Amino acid sequence: MKILNRTAARDAQTVTYMDSSSTASHKVLRNTYMLLSLTLLFSALTAGATVAFAIPGPGVLLTIVGYFALLFATTKLQNSSWGIAAVFGLTGFMGYTLGPMLTRYLGMPGGSTIVMTAMAMTGVIFMALSAYVLISKRDFSFIGGFLAVGMLLAFVASLAAMFFQIPALSLTISTVVVLLMSGMILYETSNIIHGGETNYIMATVSLYVTIYNLFSSLLHLLGVVEKE
């Protein structure tokens, strides 16, 4: 009888732990989506202001330095209220870097259609893949290593394409990045709901960067198609 009581007690503790873990994951997911929505809106406003006032871009070097500096600050402040300010600083800066790119595409014939199509495709891909993970509850942690290596290679290749002006390589990289970012949406969403990511500030940054890269890559691909 005592053995049965101890077993029942352990089972009850396990159920309580699972319920608590599930509640925490849902809280992180809710806070992440809320902050992500706000940062996307702020980034869009920053990009729109850059386009409207024809503000020149910061250049490749300043973009890289600014991004990693703000990312470092956000990471250091992730457990304090200042972390939210750092997230808005990072996403606002990235919106600013997106402005000159939008200006270039909007200046093309059918440019507004290209931008709106890229935006719509980004939204559909993000919502569809996120919904798949949330409904299926599948664990995509196994693709983390592959994605990390792929993104590192894509980053190095993009720098090479930029400095050596190789259009074919640039087009290939954009295609690969779309696939990698789709994988990142699966991975990051899975990471949140399975308790791998417990900080909503860092989860927001990861998903924002994923959406930013997905949108800019689709913009590039659609722009090439429109030219042809």
Contact residues for 174 (Cβ-Cβ < 8 A; gap 6+) = 217, 218, 220, 221
Contact 122, 211 (CB under 8 A): yes
End-to-end CA gap in the chain:
79
The number of beta carbons lying within 10 Å of the beta carbon of residue 193 is 18
pLDDT tens per residue across span 166-215: 777 888 889 999 999 999 999 999 999 998 899 999 999 999 999 999 99
Give the whole-angstrom CA distance, residue 204 versus residue 111.
29
Domain boundaries of the chain, sorted by first residue: 2-227
| pLDDT at residue 216 in the model | 95
What CA–CA distance (Å, rounded) separates 190 from 36?
Answer: 16
Q: Report pLDDT digits (tens) over 110-140.
A: 889 999 999 999 999 999 999 999 999 999 9
On the question of pLDDT at 72 being above 80, the answer is yes
d(C-alpha 226, C-alpha 190), whole Å: 35
Exposure string for 123-162, b = 16+ CB within 10 A, e = fewer: eebbeebbeebeeeeeebeeebeebeebbeebeebbeebe
More confident residue, 161 or 130: 130
- Statement: residue 9 has pLDDT above 60: no
DSSP 8-state secondary structure symbol assigned to residue 22:
H
Lowest mean pLDDT among 17-26, 55-64, 113-122: 17-26
Predicted TM-score (pTM) of this structure: 0.87
